[in-house]
Amino acid sequence: MVDFVKDLSEIMLQAYKEKGINPPNGDAHTLLSRFFNLKDKIIEPKIRNVKVSKELSGGVLDDYYKQCLHHIKNRFKNGKDVSIFLSKKSIKPSQKDLLLYDWGIHHLHLSMPKKGKKFVERSDYLLFFMIDNNNVYFIDVTKHKLPDGTEFSQQELLRIVKRNWPYLLEPYKYKGAFSLERKMTDKDFSEMRKAGSLSLVEIDGDVYGLIGGGITTARTNINHTTKTDHIFRTLRDMEGSLKENHKNMSDFLFQNGFKQINPSFRLIVEDETFYVINENTKVIVLESKSLFETIFR
Protein backbone atom coordinates (compact mmCIF):
# COMPACT_ATOMS: atom_id res chain seq x y z
CA MET A 1 0.00 0.00 0.00
CA VAL A 2 2.82 2.42 0.84
CA ASP A 3 6.63 2.43 0.69
CA PHE A 4 7.97 5.96 0.67
CA VAL A 5 11.60 4.86 1.00
CA LYS A 6 11.26 2.92 -2.25
CA ASP A 7 9.61 5.95 -3.86
CA LEU A 8 12.44 8.17 -2.63
CA SER A 9 14.99 5.79 -4.17
CA GLU A 10 13.38 6.30 -7.57
CA ILE A 11 13.34 10.07 -7.06
CA MET A 12 17.03 10.09 -6.14
CA LEU A 13 17.99 7.96 -9.13
CA GLN A 14 16.27 10.53 -11.34
CA ALA A 15 18.09 13.36 -9.53
CA TYR A 16 21.46 11.74 -10.29
CA LYS A 17 20.42 11.26 -13.90
CA GLU A 18 19.48 14.92 -14.26
CA LYS A 19 22.92 15.90 -12.95
CA GLY A 20 24.57 13.56 -15.46
CA ILE A 21 26.23 11.61 -12.63
CA ASN A 22 26.27 7.86 -12.18
CA PRO A 23 24.51 6.93 -8.93
CA PRO A 24 26.37 4.89 -6.31
CA ASN A 25 25.60 1.23 -5.83
CA GLY A 26 23.54 0.59 -2.74
CA ASP A 27 20.20 1.00 -1.05
CA ALA A 28 18.05 4.10 -0.55
CA HIS A 29 20.15 5.21 2.44
CA THR A 30 23.30 5.11 0.31
CA LEU A 31 21.66 7.00 -2.56
CA LEU A 32 20.57 9.82 -0.27
CA SER A 33 23.66 10.12 1.95
CA ARG A 34 25.97 10.11 -1.09
CA PHE A 35 23.79 12.78 -2.68
CA PHE A 36 24.44 14.97 0.36
CA ASN A 37 28.14 14.20 -0.03
CA LEU A 38 28.00 15.34 -3.65
CA LYS A 39 26.14 18.54 -2.73
CA ASP A 40 28.75 19.50 -0.15
CA LYS A 41 31.67 18.94 -2.51
CA ILE A 42 30.20 20.62 -5.60
CA ILE A 43 29.54 24.25 -4.72
CA GLU A 44 26.29 25.71 -5.99
CA PRO A 45 26.93 28.57 -8.45
CA LYS A 46 25.78 31.72 -6.68
CA ILE A 47 26.95 35.31 -6.37
CA ARG A 48 29.06 35.53 -3.23
CA ASN A 49 31.25 38.08 -1.51
CA VAL A 50 34.90 37.03 -1.53
CA LYS A 51 36.88 37.66 1.64
CA VAL A 52 40.65 37.13 1.56
CA SER A 53 42.77 36.48 4.65
CA LYS A 54 45.57 38.86 5.58
CA GLU A 55 48.00 35.96 5.25
CA LEU A 56 46.98 35.24 1.66
CA SER A 57 46.79 38.92 0.70
CA GLY A 58 50.31 39.47 2.01
CA GLY A 59 51.76 36.25 0.64
CA VAL A 60 54.00 35.78 -2.38
CA LEU A 61 52.73 33.89 -5.43
CA ASP A 62 54.08 33.51 -8.95
CA ASP A 63 52.21 35.57 -11.53
CA TYR A 64 50.56 32.48 -13.01
CA TYR A 65 49.03 31.44 -9.68
CA LYS A 66 47.98 35.04 -8.99
CA GLN A 67 46.14 34.93 -12.31
CA CYS A 68 44.44 31.65 -11.38
CA LEU A 69 43.45 33.00 -7.97
CA HIS A 70 42.01 36.16 -9.54
CA HIS A 71 40.06 34.07 -12.04
CA ILE A 72 38.54 31.90 -9.29
CA LYS A 73 37.72 35.00 -7.24
CA ASN A 74 35.83 36.54 -10.17
CA ARG A 75 33.90 33.33 -10.71
CA PHE A 76 32.67 33.40 -7.13
CA LYS A 77 31.83 37.11 -7.30
CA ASN A 78 29.85 36.65 -10.53
CA GLY A 79 28.04 33.49 -9.44
CA LYS A 80 29.73 31.24 -11.99
CA ASP A 81 30.50 27.54 -11.56
CA VAL A 82 33.85 26.75 -9.94
CA SER A 83 33.54 22.96 -10.27
CA ILE A 84 36.10 23.00 -13.08
CA PHE A 85 38.79 23.62 -10.42
CA LEU A 86 37.89 20.49 -8.45
CA SER A 87 39.65 17.17 -8.90
CA LYS A 88 38.16 14.79 -11.45
CA LYS A 89 37.14 12.33 -8.74
CA SER A 90 35.11 14.95 -6.89
CA ILE A 91 31.95 14.33 -8.91
CA LYS A 92 31.87 10.70 -7.80
CA PRO A 93 29.17 10.50 -5.12
CA SER A 94 31.20 8.12 -2.94
CA GLN A 95 34.50 10.01 -3.22
CA LYS A 96 35.50 11.16 0.27
CA ASP A 97 36.84 14.57 1.32
CA LEU A 98 38.13 14.11 4.86
CA LEU A 99 39.34 17.70 5.23
CA LEU A 100 35.84 18.94 4.40
CA TYR A 101 34.21 16.44 6.79
CA ASP A 102 36.55 17.31 9.64
CA TRP A 103 37.17 21.06 9.39
CA GLY A 104 34.66 22.27 6.79
CA ILE A 105 37.45 23.46 4.47
CA HIS A 106 37.18 23.12 0.68
CA HIS A 107 40.06 23.17 -1.78
CA LEU A 108 40.48 23.97 -5.48
CA HIS A 109 43.34 23.46 -7.92
CA LEU A 110 45.12 26.62 -9.04
CA SER A 111 45.23 26.10 -12.80
CA MET A 112 43.69 28.04 -15.66
CA PRO A 113 40.77 26.40 -17.52
CA LYS A 114 41.39 25.13 -21.04
CA LYS A 115 38.76 25.21 -23.74
CA GLY A 116 36.90 21.92 -24.08
CA LYS A 117 38.21 20.54 -20.78
CA LYS A 118 35.78 19.67 -17.99
CA PHE A 119 38.44 20.07 -15.29
CA VAL A 120 41.66 22.03 -14.98
CA GLU A 121 44.97 20.21 -14.79
CA ARG A 122 46.12 19.13 -11.34
CA SER A 123 48.18 21.93 -9.88
CA ASP A 124 51.26 22.23 -7.72
CA TYR A 125 49.24 24.62 -5.54
CA LEU A 126 45.82 24.48 -3.89
CA LEU A 127 43.47 27.21 -2.69
CA PHE A 128 41.86 26.42 0.67
CA PHE A 129 38.62 28.18 1.60
CA MET A 130 35.42 28.09 3.62
CA ILE A 131 31.96 29.03 2.39
CA ASP A 132 28.55 30.05 3.68
CA ASN A 133 25.35 31.17 1.98
CA ASN A 134 26.61 34.56 0.86
CA ASN A 135 30.37 34.56 1.33
CA VAL A 136 33.49 32.64 0.45
CA TYR A 137 36.56 32.94 2.65
CA PHE A 138 39.94 32.48 0.94
CA ILE A 139 42.18 31.09 3.68
CA ASP A 140 45.51 30.36 2.02
CA VAL A 141 47.32 28.83 -0.94
CA THR A 142 49.80 26.04 -0.20
CA LYS A 143 51.64 23.35 -2.11
CA HIS A 144 49.59 20.40 -3.27
CA LYS A 145 52.14 17.94 -1.94
CA LEU A 146 53.96 18.47 1.33
CA PRO A 147 56.95 16.30 2.33
CA ASP A 148 55.11 14.71 5.28
CA GLY A 149 51.81 14.27 3.41
CA THR A 150 49.89 16.72 5.61
CA GLU A 151 48.65 19.10 2.93
CA PHE A 152 45.04 18.37 3.96
CA SER A 153 45.59 18.45 7.73
CA GLN A 154 47.42 21.75 8.23
CA GLN A 155 46.25 23.23 11.52
CA GLU A 156 47.63 26.56 10.33
CA LEU A 157 44.58 26.80 8.05
CA LEU A 158 42.31 26.92 11.11
CA ARG A 159 44.63 29.37 12.84
CA ILE A 160 44.27 31.69 9.85
CA VAL A 161 40.49 31.30 9.97
CA LYS A 162 40.45 32.16 13.67
CA ARG A 163 42.66 35.22 13.21
CA ASN A 164 40.59 36.59 10.34
CA TRP A 165 37.03 35.36 10.86
CA PRO A 166 36.67 33.91 14.39
CA TYR A 167 32.87 33.89 14.05
CA LEU A 168 33.13 31.03 11.55
CA LEU A 169 34.52 28.75 14.27
CA GLU A 170 32.52 30.08 17.22
CA PRO A 171 29.53 27.69 16.77
CA TYR A 172 31.90 24.72 17.09
CA LYS A 173 33.81 25.97 20.12
CA TYR A 174 33.65 23.92 23.30
CA LYS A 175 32.62 26.12 26.18
CA GLY A 176 34.64 26.27 29.36
CA ALA A 177 38.35 26.55 29.93
CA PHE A 178 40.10 23.30 29.10
CA SER A 179 42.86 22.05 26.84
CA LEU A 180 43.51 18.77 25.11
CA GLU A 181 45.81 16.50 27.08
CA ARG A 182 47.99 15.79 24.07
CA LYS A 183 49.29 18.29 21.54
CA MET A 184 48.22 16.99 18.12
CA THR A 185 50.51 17.35 15.13
CA ASP A 186 49.31 17.76 11.55
CA LYS A 187 50.49 14.21 10.92
CA ASP A 188 48.37 12.97 13.83
CA PHE A 189 45.24 14.45 12.25
CA SER A 190 46.09 12.90 8.90
CA GLU A 191 46.50 9.45 10.45
CA MET A 192 43.37 9.73 12.60
CA ARG A 193 41.23 10.63 9.58
CA LYS A 194 42.54 7.68 7.64
CA ALA A 195 41.54 5.46 10.56
CA GLY A 196 38.05 6.99 10.72
CA SER A 197 38.64 8.49 14.17
CA LEU A 198 36.78 11.54 15.41
CA SER A 199 39.00 14.20 16.97
CA LEU A 200 38.85 17.64 18.54
CA VAL A 201 41.28 20.35 17.51
CA GLU A 202 42.85 23.01 19.73
CA ILE A 203 43.56 26.34 18.08
CA ASP A 204 45.31 29.04 20.11
CA GLY A 205 43.91 27.81 23.41
CA ASP A 206 40.34 27.09 22.26
CA VAL A 207 38.98 23.63 21.50
CA TYR A 208 36.68 22.97 18.52
CA GLY A 209 34.90 19.94 17.11
CA LEU A 210 32.60 18.79 14.30
CA ILE A 211 33.39 21.89 12.23
CA GLY A 212 32.66 20.04 9.00
CA GLY A 213 30.14 17.61 10.46
CA GLY A 214 32.55 14.98 11.70
CA ILE A 215 34.01 11.72 10.40
CA THR A 216 32.46 8.28 10.99
CA THR A 217 34.41 5.03 11.38
CA ALA A 218 33.54 4.38 7.73
CA ARG A 219 35.25 7.72 6.91
CA THR A 220 31.98 9.29 5.80
CA ASN A 221 30.39 12.50 7.07
CA ILE A 222 28.36 12.27 10.28
CA ASN A 223 26.05 15.06 9.09
CA HIS A 224 25.17 13.17 5.92
CA THR A 225 24.24 10.07 7.91
CA THR A 226 22.27 12.08 10.49
CA LYS A 227 20.29 13.96 7.84
CA THR A 228 19.52 10.76 5.97
CA ASP A 229 18.36 9.00 9.14
CA HIS A 230 16.12 11.97 9.98
CA ILE A 231 14.52 11.92 6.54
CA PHE A 232 13.89 8.19 6.77
CA ARG A 233 12.21 8.66 10.16
CA THR A 234 10.06 11.41 8.66
CA LEU A 235 8.98 9.12 5.82
CA ARG A 236 8.17 6.28 8.22
CA ASP A 237 6.15 8.67 10.38
CA MET A 238 4.21 9.76 7.29
CA GLU A 239 3.57 6.11 6.42
CA GLY A 240 2.43 5.37 9.96
CA SER A 241 0.03 8.30 9.95
CA LEU A 242 -1.53 7.24 6.65
CA LYS A 243 -1.84 3.62 7.76
CA GLU A 244 -3.52 4.67 10.99
CA ASN A 245 -5.96 6.92 9.14
CA HIS A 246 -6.70 4.14 6.66
CA LYS A 247 -7.36 1.66 9.48
CA ASN A 248 -9.76 4.07 11.16
CA MET A 249 -11.58 4.68 7.90
CA SER A 250 -11.76 0.95 7.13
CA ASP A 251 -13.19 0.22 10.58
CA PHE A 252 -15.80 2.95 10.12
CA LEU A 253 -16.84 1.62 6.70
CA PHE A 254 -17.00 -1.97 7.94
CA GLN A 255 -19.11 -1.03 10.95
CA ASN A 256 -21.56 0.83 8.75
CA GLY A 257 -21.81 -1.80 6.05
CA PHE A 258 -19.91 0.07 3.36
CA LYS A 259 -17.40 -1.44 0.94
CA GLN A 260 -13.84 -1.08 2.16
CA ILE A 261 -11.28 0.85 0.13
CA ASN A 262 -7.65 -0.23 -0.39
CA PRO A 263 -5.82 2.92 -1.52
CA SER A 264 -2.24 2.96 -2.75
CA PHE A 265 -0.13 5.97 -1.76
CA ARG A 266 2.99 7.19 -3.53
CA LEU A 267 5.61 9.86 -2.84
CA ILE A 268 6.33 12.16 -5.79
CA VAL A 269 8.15 15.46 -6.32
CA GLU A 270 6.85 18.34 -8.43
CA ASP A 271 7.36 22.11 -8.41
CA GLU A 272 10.00 21.90 -5.67
CA THR A 273 7.60 20.14 -3.30
CA PHE A 274 7.15 16.56 -2.15
CA TYR A 275 3.60 15.25 -2.42
CA VAL A 276 1.90 12.08 -1.28
CA ILE A 277 -0.87 11.13 -3.68
CA ASN A 278 -3.59 8.49 -3.60
CA GLU A 279 -2.80 6.63 -6.81
CA ASN A 280 -6.40 5.46 -7.18
CA THR A 281 -7.91 8.93 -7.11
CA LYS A 282 -4.80 11.07 -7.91
CA VAL A 283 -5.73 13.23 -4.94
CA ILE A 284 -2.92 14.88 -2.93
CA VAL A 285 -3.15 13.82 0.71
CA LEU A 286 0.11 15.31 2.04
CA GLU A 287 2.67 17.86 0.89
CA SER A 288 6.06 18.99 2.20
CA LYS A 289 8.20 21.83 0.90
CA SER A 290 10.57 21.43 3.84
CA LEU A 291 11.50 17.90 2.79
CA PHE A 292 12.42 19.19 -0.66
CA GLU A 293 14.49 21.98 0.89
CA THR A 294 16.34 19.54 3.13
CA ILE A 295 17.32 17.25 0.27
CA PHE A 296 17.82 19.54 -2.70
CA ARG A 297 18.72 22.97 -1.30
pLDDT in tens, 132-150: 989 999 999 998 888 899 9
Residue 272: count other Cβ atoms within 10 Å of its Cβ. 10
**Last-in-domain residue among 220, 243, 261:** 220
Burial of 267 (0-12, 13-18, 19+ CB in 10 A): buried
If asked whether residues 228 and 188 sit together in one domain, one would say no
Q: How far apart are CA 114 and CA 103, in angstroms?
A: 31
If asked whether residues 232 and 216 sit together in one domain, one would say no
- Residue 265 lies in domain: 1-38+221-297
pLDDT in tens, 155-209: 999 999 999 999 999 999 998 767 888 889 999 999 999 999 888 999 999 999 9
Q: How far apart are CA 232 and CA 30, in angstroms?
A: 12
**Last-in-domain residue among 179, 205, 220:** 220
pLDDT-derived band at 259, boundaries 50, 70, 90: low
Q: What is the pTM of this model?
A: 0.90
Residue 246: count other Cβ atoms within 10 Å of its Cβ. 17
If asked whether residues 257 and 144 sit together in one domain, one would say no
If asked whether residues 7 and 115 sit together in one domain, one would say no
pLDDT-derived band at 253, boundaries 50, 70, 90: very low
**In the predicted structure, residue 252 carries a pLDDT above the cut 60:** no
Strands 135-143, 201-203: pairing is: unpaired
* Number of domains within the chain: 2
Query: Across all residues in the chain, what is the average pLDDT?
Result: 91
If asked whether residues 213 and 232 sit together in one domain, one would say no
If asked whether residues 246 and 190 sit together in one domain, one would say no
**In the predicted structure, residue 256 carries a pLDDT above the cut 60:** no
pLDDT-derived band at 250, boundaries 50, 70, 90: low
If asked whether residues 158 and 274 sit together in one domain, one would say no
**Last-in-domain residue among 191, 220, 249:** 220
Q: How far apart are CA 261 and CA 44, in angstroms?
A: 45
If asked whether residues 238 and 168 sit together in one domain, one would say no
**In the predicted structure, residue 35 carries a pLDDT above the cut 90:** yes
If asked whether residues 291 and 192 sit together in one domain, one would say no
If asked whether residues 68 and 2 sit together in one domain, one would say no
The pLDDT, as a whole number, for residue 279 is 85
If asked whether residues 128 and 25 sit together in one domain, one would say no
If asked whether residues 238 and 139 sit together in one domain, one would say no
Q: What residues are paired with 162 via a beta bridge? A: none
